[in-house]
Amino acid sequence: MDILKFESVALDEDKNLLRLLDQTKLPCEIEFLELQDIHDIWNAIYKLQVRGAPAIGIAAAFGSYLAALNIDVNDFESFFEKFHAAKEYLNSARPTAVNLSWALNRMEKIALDNREIEISEIKTLLKNEAIKIKDEDTQMCRKIGELGLTLIKDGDGILTHCNAGQLATSKYGTALAPIHLGRERGMNFHVYCDETRPLLQGARLSTFELIADGVDTTLICDNMASQVMKNGWVNAVFVGADRIAANGDSCNKIGTSGLAILAQYYKIPFYVFAPTSSIDMNIKNGADITIEERPSEEITEMWYKKRMAPEKVKVYNPAFDVVSNELIAGIVTEYGIARPPYSESLREIFERKNTNG
């Protein structure tokens, strides 16, 4: 199977619908959802049928375009009131990944900047913008992959957490992009995938896409990372991010911060991979990032034939945590690898981005 031909998120322009690879069904079933209604799209984002920061942003951009298509009014004020409500609704599906609001704000700006033209023309511009958001993501991921490849050599062992791969983006992924690009060039890496409790994105998704690309892949439970590092099998840790603060504090799937602490102990470089669309320069540090909390059943019931914990037990289920900037060897973006101190290097990354347009 050529995993790089898989599209997690796509717009069917003829049928005006959003096509999503249902990630809750992987790896056992490869099933595509076809959605038009924004409530269904909200639900798909909330339930992680589409997931991963860039993929969520792209799905929401297409979702807001489909919402715009259904707004049947001729004056801008009435159109915008409904469009804005749809945008806010989609934005409420998940709080942590900044790509969601980033993509939706881009869509809203297109509408506002073109208030003087016909509503039908605004709808066409919205479609073009959503397609552009997706295409740009592919280019960003490819550049991130190229830069990431400079950090490793053929035969290296890489430990990763959650899924920051092709499935989580438009193409290639972020943390897994160097692995896929390396494969295209005949390189081989040993990738250790944390299973990533409780939703098992590592066990179900990263292993699926890496094996599909012919990568030597080993699945470990989250609590085995220390042992694998101690064995000397890991040359670098590569993870993605849902939101990076201006000081480099990086929020990613729950369990990532523990991994960074272990990597420091074993003197293994810990790299965060993210497009600039995942960097939130309005947030000073990680303490200001909203951490999504999810239903307790994800821990107590999902994946078990019978509920495995007592009915009355209290459950804490944060979906993300924040890696302190001092644990990060580099943040790999499409505009270069930021190094500490991140308050300066991330500012430079954005200066580069703004100069390059």
Instruction: Return the number of the residue (164 or 179) whose C-beta is nearest ligand MRU.
Output: 164
Shortest distance, position 97 Cβ to ligand MRU, whole Å: 6
Asked whether 206 and 162 are in contact (CB, 8 A), the reply is yes
Residue 334 in contact with residue 143, Cβ under 8 Å? yes
Measured CA to CA, the distance from residue 307 to residue 294 in angstroms comes to: 17
* Structure-derived torsion over alpha carbons of residues 40, 69, 242, 334, reported in degrees to the nearest 10: 140
Task: Classify residue 201 by its DSSP letter.
Answer: I
Nearest to 354 by CA among 332, 329, 338, 335: 335
Least distance from ligand MRU to the Cβ atom of residue 273, Å: 7
Nearest-approach distance from CB 1 to ligand MRU, in angstroms? 21
242 is catalytic: yes
Closer residue to ligand MRU, CB minimum distance, 256 or 325: 256
Type and span of the H or E element at 216 = strand 216-220
Least distance from ligand MRU to the Cβ atom of residue 168, Å: 4
Q: Which of 242, 249, 280, 321 is catalytic?
A: 242
Query: Is 202 in contact with 194 (CB distance < 8 Å)?
Result: yes
**What's the min distance (Å) between Cβ of 330 and ligand MRU?**
16
How far, in Å, CA of 258 to CA of 159, rounded? 13
- CB closer to ligand MRU out of 274 and 329: 274
Q: Are 14 and 29 in contact (CB under 8 A)?
A: no
**Cβ partners under 8 Å of residue 226, min gap 6:** 262, 266
Nearer to ligand MRU, 127 or 213 (CB): 213
- DSSP letter string over 261-273? HHHHHTT--EEEE
| Pick 83 or 238: Cβ nearer ligand MRU | 238
Residues 6 or more apart in contact with residue 267 via CB below 8 angstroms: none
Residue at shortest CB range from ligand MRU: 240
Enumerate binding residues for ligand MRU (CB under 6 A): 48, 51-54, 97, 162, 164, 168-169, 173-174, 201, 240-242, 252-253, 319
- Active site amino acids: 242
